[in-house]
Amino acid sequence: MSGPVLEYRAVSVRYEPAAAPAVADITLAVEAGERVALMGLNGSGKTTLLLAAVGLVPHEGEILAGGEPLTHKSISRIRGRTGFLFNVPEDQLLFPKVIDDISFGLVRRGLPPREAASQAARVADALGVAHLAQAPLHHLSHGQKQRVALAGALVTDPPLLLLDEPSAGLDPPGKRALAAILSRLNAAIIVATHDLDFAARFCTRFVILDNGRIVSDSDGMEQITSLWQL
Amino acid sequence: MRTDLHGVWGSGHGPVSGLAPQTRLLSGALLFGACMTSPADTAMGSLLIAVIATVWLMACRPPARVVRLALSLGCVLFLPYFLLTPLLPDAPQTLTGDWLPALAVPWSVFIRGISGMLVSISTVTVLSGSDFYEAMTRLPVPHLISAILLQIVHQTGTLYYETKRIAAAMAVRGAARGGVAAWRVLSSLPRVWLPRVIERAERVSWAMELRGYSESGMRQFRQTRTRDTDCAVLIMTGCVFALAAALRIWRI
């Protein structure tokens, strides 16, 4: 794999052909290991940009993941090396038991069930949900579901993580713990959030979106604090 | 009586719980089939249906509250059919006439309905969510069908809780008090609740696509061995189904 881990080249997304684009003319490259906060107000296009990166919404322009253009042929390969966290964790939890959900990515890749379960248990332990391994998913709190969904995304050790509002609904200690976990990862992370405190804890680059366009791309938060008059 | 949807799964503690998940599911399905196949308008057929439901209930031993709920629901659903008896073509013109041929129809609906419910609910109580998943992956069901079935079961819980949240919101916002407020909330439900559920279903399908849920065959998370007891139970339930079919064919 060479070059940026994810690259948008003049990418626009329209949900309706005649409608204004949800994101317009986005050019952005994220290098391996980089931690990018995608910030902006509600409706600024943060989620759309993440969804476009894994081909869940049709786009104009070009998206490259690990140097490979996102096309129908490459889409499942690219998805296989991308961890994605939806803003409602419940939506991506597909199995009745925590450990099964976490290990699914490994089992799908052909790892023997026992090996997959022990590897999943290690990830669960790192995320502080090991004690919930045998618990049914519907017994978990929002924060626990968030961690389980993240564990499911991390278990295959993807080089790219796309996280949509991962701190939403978490209590302050939960946010701090999640930020600490994310800061220890080697993967490139793009996190869509409007939680300044959370982003400041582990991100090194701050991209601000406004009305679907990038209005600032810097390594400090000064722009956003002045933009939001904080 | 309140029974949590997820609480029902795996709440039974009968001897059947020790069998392999696929044996439990298949046996339940065979016995359900036997209840539906056996002729309910003959004494022998009705007896077989009653015995199947009772024995399976004892073998699964679901919690008493679940049995009570199933029986109450069954009575509410199937007993009213008896009210239609006088309207049936076989019904006699007088009270002293022969009512048995006419009563056979609502009786069939009632006994099949009640026994079907008891057998299905008992089966559910000896399967946890992950047992059900394991059972589906081990049975020779086409991958697409098992994937869809599993997601229906899994997402039913999500929709159930979503609906509970909406009901709570309705109550808090005054819809439970009746009158104009209730009417306004109720009339907006199709435009509010339905898009919400559809949106949720879309997000779940995105997640399934991303995680490769339907890409390859269903994967097994555990290794379970089928024992002699499993084979014996399957042979027995298979025989019961065959007996029910024989009773139906020869009208015994």
Q: Say yes or no for a CB contact (<8 Å) between B210 and A91.
A: no
Q: Do B206 and A56 touch (CB under 8 A)?
A: yes
CA distance A166 to A86: 8
Q: What is the pLDDT along chain A (230 residues), one digit of tens a residue?
A: 557 999 999 999 998 888 889 999 999 999 999 999 999 988 899 999 999 999 999 999 999 999 999 999 999 889 889 999 998 888 888 887 889 889 988 888 888 888 888 999 999 998 889 999 888 777 788 889 989 999 999 999 999 999 999 988 888 888 888 899 899 999 999 999 988 899 999 999 999 999 999 999 988 877 777 777 66
Q: Using an 8 Å CB-CB cutoff, list chain A residues near B157.
A: 138
* Cβ contact A212:A23 at 8 Å: yes
The reply to whether residue A86 touches residue B206, judged by beta carbons under 8 angstroms, is yes
Chain A residues within 8 A of B212 when measuring between CB atoms: 76, 79-80, 105, 108
Q: Give the 3-state secondary structure of residue B107.
A: helix
Coil, strand or helix: which one is A192?
strand
Interface predicted TM-score (ipTM): 0.76
Chain B residues near residue A116 by CB distance under 8 angstroms: 221
Q: Which of B160, B162, B161, B168 shows the shortest CA–CA distance to B185?
A: B168
A69-76, long-range: CB < 8 A, 24+ apart: A76/B212, A76/B215
Residue A130 is given by DSSP the state G
pLDDT tens digit string along B55-99?
999 999 999 999 999 999 999 999 999 998 888 888 787 878 888
Q: Is A100 on the interface with B (CB under 8 A)?
A: yes
Q: How far is B21 from chain A (nearest CA, A)?
A: 15
Q: How far apart are CA A28 and CA A156, in angstroms?
A: 25
Using alpha carbons, list the distances in angstroms from residue B236 to A216, B34, B224, B231. Answer: 71, 12, 21, 9
Within 13 Å and on the Cβ side, how many CA atoms surround A158?
29
**Taking the domains of chain B in order of start, what are their residue ranges?**
5-137+225-250, 141-210
Would you state the structure tokens that stand for residue B20, as one six-digit string? Answer: 């392999």
**Cα(B76)–Cα(B88) distance, integer angstroms:** 21
Give the pLDDT confidence of A33-80 residue by residue, as tens digits.
Answer: 999 999 998 889 999 999 999 999 999 999 999 999 999 999 988 988
Pair type for strands A68-69 and A60-65: antiparallel
| Cα–Cα distance, B149 to A136 (Å, whole number) | 18
Q: Which two tokens stand for residue A84?
A: 């994605």
Please report the pLDDT score of residue B1 as a whole number: 40
Chain B residues whose beta carbon lies within 8 Å of the beta carbon of residue A97: 128-130, 221
How far does the CA of residue B246 sit from the closest CA of chain A (Å)? 39
Distance from A14 to chain B by nearest Cα, in Å? Answer: 18
Q: Which residues, at least 6 apart from B96, have a Cβ–Cβ distance to it below 8 Å?
A: none
A window 151-170, beta carbon within 8 A of B: 152
Element (H, E) at A6: strand A6-13
